[in-house]
A = this chain, B = another copy of it.
């Protein structure tokens, strides 16, 4: 059995405080028996992509760097594998949304067994990620760790069956999706439930299609995207207008922030939800995964057997009309 823990956490403006909170949560999870712990997407900061501001490149860091150094100490102390989503500075002017996997058994710098750079980058009102993150160039990956074969994908990747499939074909047994997704306050009442449902449904479908476990870990709480830089809080001035809309309903006003919907969950290889977090509280979500279920499920639902690899060439096209 493999015990996994997802840290559903809320972030404050102080990036150092968030790192210490994350370290504490990893220790708690380890004390609870976890063998692998996944942190939410970009856990070191509030979700700053709510605006485009060059000053925010000031919080980027190298990998290895300060975050992995701090977490590697916790990994060595506790013996757990940690998946950490970071704002990577790869070179001046070249930044990625990167997941680093720290394994106590790894002899690499900061115990970094491998990294994955987010392949699919969104860009929507309040999610201006294309401004900050260069799309990943490492492709999809499965990493053989001391806690199993882990696939790391990040947030927007979760809407792409191609990403889950390629990661599973590389041998991953558990797909982890560090995430930062939430409701626009003006949309929550009308669209909130269906948005959460679609988000969970498509990730459960990746478990089904591939016969793998899926772990999605989201942040929680209402954020204006406050980030402390050099002792000053960087935020969107509340007088700056935002135009947001869905299906014809438009709201114009001051930055309303985002209400991150938590709802982290763990699904088995047939898409059943094994563990489900709340939508409004910090918590550590844990489950025992029996990795033998993967082969049993795939034998009874042998989807991998019958893929028409001779006929999937069109998937590398933008459109086929």
**Residues of chain A whose beta carbon lies under 8 Å from any beta carbon of chain B:** 119-122, 124, 135, 139-140, 142, 156, 159-163, 165-166, 169-171, 194, 197-198, 201-202, 204-205, 208-209, 246-248, 270-272, 296, 300-304, 306-321
Contacts and interface: CB of A to CB of B under 8 A. Distances in A.
A163 B310 CA distance: 12
Given A120-B308, A139-B311, A316-B312, A205 B161 contact: yes
Given A162-B315, A315-B315, A208 B204 contact: no
Contacts of A121: 306
A201 B198 contact: no
A313 B317 CA distance: 10
Contacts of A313: 316
A47 B310 CA distance: 28
A226 B150 CA distance: 47
Contact of A270 (B119, B198, B204): B198
Given A202-B208, A307-B160, A194 B272 contact: yes
8 A-B pairs with least C-beta separation: A205-B205, A161-B161, A169-B320, A171-B321, A170-B320, A202-B205, A166-B314, A309-B316
Given A309-B316, A321-B171, A201 B194 contact: no
A271 B161 CA distance: 15
Contact of A201 (B160, B165, B205): B205
A140 B314 contact: yes
Contacts of A119: 308, 311
